[in-house]
């Protein structure tokens, strides 16, 4: 392999000369991956597998470089390793971002999680921030590393293994906790039993925080393609979507909450329509959906039993089994004699 060092040097020079091309490539690749998942999930599965394999390589980077040096009697140039790590972060973040942008309920705490992913993606494509601000701060670098892997697993597991959103969240959170332990141990060296217990406690706190704030994490592979609050439903097609409904109509027809939810092919998922009146839950109805339909799996609930005085603000939250918000339908019940038929709010 006499030409290897020269070839590597040329690649490094091109990377340094055109750093924006790498960032642009990561962005185009991420958006392209999302489109393929939406239209051709078989190919998207391979893309997701490649993404996860690249993360395995990143976690075993030191061991693999030592093995390479022993086998080929040459060391991989350090700048190449840095660029490879940066490209993995870019590819992973821009792979997951389209999923989270489309599934985020922007008027909820999910804004924080998706905002963090967006900030991490921005840092990964700006060299001064990535190399001079992030990389020297080992704890911050590892935190970004763990966050990105967590988001990648949330996106890839339902596609590859057909795990439900609840199962994917638990597995992704458990993996993030396991990876955070050695990362924390490298920041806070374990020299005594007390030190080891402290690192373990920090790891458990990270896991507990992730679990209790799971409603802030968008369900990456579930999103609503069509919604309606309507007094009519025929042949699985709702009538006009209403923003305001009269008490008389509620008493006469009841109300349908209709949602068409996009899910990966082969995925069976239980979701809930949670009816709330002035912020208080009054009904929680389970629905089973099946992935694969391009227009989204059609599911609805028909509520006929309303409080004696239903006038006020209503909403139907669409939740996963673990309480992650897929979307929210809002409407108002008034004692007026007519209804204002305008498009309903989906998020």
Q: Closest Cα partner for 314 from 336, 330, 337, 294?
A: 330
Q: What is the pTM of this model?
A: 0.77
Are 44 and 33 spatial neighbours (Cβ–Cβ below 8 Å)? yes
CATH 2.60.40.1930 fits 223-334, yes or no: yes
Greatest alpha-carbon span in the chain: 85
Q: Where do we find the tokens 């942008």?
A: 101
Q: Which pLDDT tens digits describe the chain residue by residue (347 residues)?
A: 445 556 656 665 665 566 556 556 656 665 666 666 555 555 556 666 766 676 666 666 666 677 777 777 777 666 666 777 777 788 788 888 888 988 998 888 899 999 999 999 889 888 788 888 888 887 788 788 888 888 888 888 888 888 889 999 999 998 888 877 766 666 667 777 777 787 788 888 888 988 999 889 999 889 999 999 999 988 888 988 889 998 988 888 889 999 999 888 778 899 999 999 998 999 999 999 998 787 889 999 999 988 888 999 999 999 999 889 999 999 999 886 544 444 444 44
Give the strand pairing for 325-334 and 244-246: parallel
Distance, in Å, from the CA atom of 248 to the CA atom of 230, rounded to the nearest integer, reads 14
Q: What are phi and psi of 129, to 5 degrees?
A: -70, -40
H or E segment and range at residue 287: strand 280-290
Question: 24 burial class (0-12, 13-18, 19+ CB within 10 angstroms)?
Answer: middle
Q: Closest Cα partner for 267 from 301, 292, 233, 230?
A: 292
Contacts of 207 (CB under 8 A, 6+ apart): 173, 174, 176, 177
Question: Tell me, what's the pLDDT at 9?
Answer: 60
Question: Tell me, what's the pLDDT at 180?
Answer: 73
The residues spanned by each domain of the chain are 4-216, 223-334
Question: 342 burial class (0-12, 13-18, 19+ CB within 10 angstroms)?
Answer: exposed
Q: Where do we find the tokens 């389970």?
A: 286
């Amino acid at each position: 392999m006499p030409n290897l060092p020269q070839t590597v040097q040329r690649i490094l020079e091109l990377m340094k000369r055109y750093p924006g091309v790498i960032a642009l490539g990561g962005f185009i690749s991420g958006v392209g991956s999302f489109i393929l998942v939406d239209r051709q999930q078989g190919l998207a599965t391979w893309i997701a597998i490649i993404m996860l394999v690249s993360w395995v390589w990143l976690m075993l980077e030191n061991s693999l470089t030592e093995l390479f040096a022993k086998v080929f009697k040459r060391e991989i140039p350090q700048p190449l390793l840095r660029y490879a790590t940066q490209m993995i972060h870019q590819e992973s973040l821009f792979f997951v971002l389209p999923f989270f942008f489309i599934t985020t309920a922007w008027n909820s705490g999910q804004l924080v999680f998706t905002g963090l992913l967006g900030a991490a993606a921005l840092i990964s494509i700006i060299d001064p921030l990535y190399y001079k601000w992030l990389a020297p701060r080992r704890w911050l670098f590892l935190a970004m590393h763990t966050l990105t892997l967590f988001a990648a697993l949330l996106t890839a597991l339902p596609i590859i293994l057909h795990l439900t959103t609840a199962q994917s969240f638990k597995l992704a959170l458990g993996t993030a906790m396991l990876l955070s332990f050695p990362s924390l141990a490298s920041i806070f060296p374990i020299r005594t039993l007390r030190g080891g217990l402290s690192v373990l406690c920090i790891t458990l706190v990270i896991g507990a925080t992730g679990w209790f704030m799971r409603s802030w994490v968008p369900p990456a592979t579930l999103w609503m393609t069509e919604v309606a609050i309507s007094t009519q439903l025929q042949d699985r097609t709702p009538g006009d979507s209403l923003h305001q409904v009269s008490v008389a109509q509620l008493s006469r027809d009841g109300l349908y909450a209709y949602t068409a939810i996009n899910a990966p092919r082969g995925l069976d998922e239980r979701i809930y329509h949670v009816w709330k009146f002035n912020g208080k839950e009054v009904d929680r109805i389970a629905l089973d959906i099946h992935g694969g339909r391009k227009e989204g799996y059609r599911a609805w609930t028909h509520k006929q039993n309303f409080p004696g005085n239903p006038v006020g603000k209503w909403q139907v939250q669409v939740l996963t089994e673990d309480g992650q918000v897929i979307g929210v339908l809002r409407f108002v019940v008034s004692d007026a004699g007519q209804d204002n038929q305008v498009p309903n709010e989906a998020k």
